[in-house]
Amino acid sequence: MFDTLGTILTRLGDMVAWSSLFSLVSFIVVLSIIVFVHEFGHFIVGRWCGVGVREFSIGFGRELFGWTDRKGTRWKVSLLPLGGYVRFVGDLNAASMPDGEEVDGMTPEERAISFPRQSVGKRAAIIAAGPLANFIFSIVIFAGFFMAYGKTVLEPRIDEVIVGGRAEAAGLKAGDLILSIDGSKVVSFPDVVQHITLSPERPLQIRVQRAGAEVSLTATPKLEWVTTPVGPVEAGQLGFKVNAQLPERWHAVSFGPMGAVVEGGRETWSIISQSLTTIGKLITGQVSFKQLSGPVGIGQMTGHVAGLGMLALVGYVAFLSVSIGMVNLLPVPVLDGGHLVFCAIEAIRRRPLDERIQEIAFRLGFALILTLIVVVSWNDLTRIFVSSPPV
């Protein structure tokens, strides 16, 4: 008996280990692709602008392997695969802090190709090119997917209203087709889920089509624990269901090349819009930081999606690419958005901020990012080790 139990536990341990390893490998591969696209955006526009590039690194820390191209750029893969960077001539470090001492000691020819000595417009273009590359990458992925397979949309029509739920209290009924929420047009059921889960205990204005007429209702999602692939999370719930098993609930749309690109742009903009909405709700306190995931949670989700097949993984790569582009545009020093703020201030003042002020801002920005990483990592670990949600 004990031998059998020991064998079962050993096999379960092996399954968990393999699952974790699969998630880790999937996460590293996906993140490396997205980081390469982002950094290549900075790199290629920097080259176009005549700026010298010292290093192009996937990962941080000690170099594992690499090579130097004919223009002197060191391309390398480093030990910690949680990001990457491009270091231009004149950069002090991977965060692109200006190295005033190095620039002052350069020859006129070296100074001409240094990043800090470029015009504000060129520097802004190089900085913005990283997030823009992420967005373009997403559009290309979505466009290719739509052109090859079309797009299947799950109709946002309610099939069942749970007795005693918030949806019933609001007057929603089976057969209602949701048209908009808080003035935002709803196209598919995932759009509905996005609005409701991110709006717990907040009244939503919902417009539905019922028996050929439009009806406006107010419903307040209830804050509940919901099981997800990364563990239990708190989210808004209204208490209705859509039957995805009904063929009539699905609508297939096919696209030509131009139509696929346009739809890819719309899909990318939809993710950007949802991200901006989420950031706004985080700032105003309408969404809890407990709902955010960090590297561990994203790694788990990546492994889960990878297990669903290559098509699902490709779509997830596009989603993550947009998300990483958006995060980098936040106006926080160290991130691209913070650099763009410095460029804007310089353009207004007609001179750059003092290097000491920039250094302090970078340190504060780094501390903020580090704090956020600790918070979201704690969220991830809590979800992993909490076997059931609190009651």
Q: How far apart are CA 72 and CA 103, in angstroms?
A: 18
Q: How far is CA 362 from CA 98, 130, 249, 365, in A?
A: 11, 19, 51, 5
CB 89 within 8 A of CB 47: no
Print the SS3 string covering the chain: CHHHHHHHHHHHHHHHHHHHHHHHHHHHHHHHHHHHHHHHHHHHHHHHCCCCEEEEEEEEEEEEEEEECCCCCEEEEEEEEEEEEEEECCECCCCCCECHHHHHCCCHHHHHCCCCCCCHHHHHHHHHHHHHHHHHHHHHHHHHHHHHHCEEEECCECCEECCCCHHHHHCCCCCCEEEEECCEECCCHHHHHHHHHCCCCCCEEEEEEECCEEEEEEECCEEEEEEECCEEEEEEECCEECCCCCHHHEEEECCCHHHHHHHHHHHHHHHHHHHHHHHHHHHHCCCCHHHCCCHHHHHHHHHHHHHHCHHHHHHHHHHHHHHHHHHHCCCCCCCHHHHHHHHHHHHHHCCCCCHHHHHHHHHHHHHHHHHHHHHHHHHHHHHHHCCCCCC
Active site residue 39: yes
Parallel, antiparallel or unpaired: strands 240-241 and 74-88 = unpaired
Contacts (Cβ under 8 Å, ≥6 apart) of 227: none
Q: Which amino acid is at 299?
A: G
- The residues annotated with a catalytic role in the active site are 39
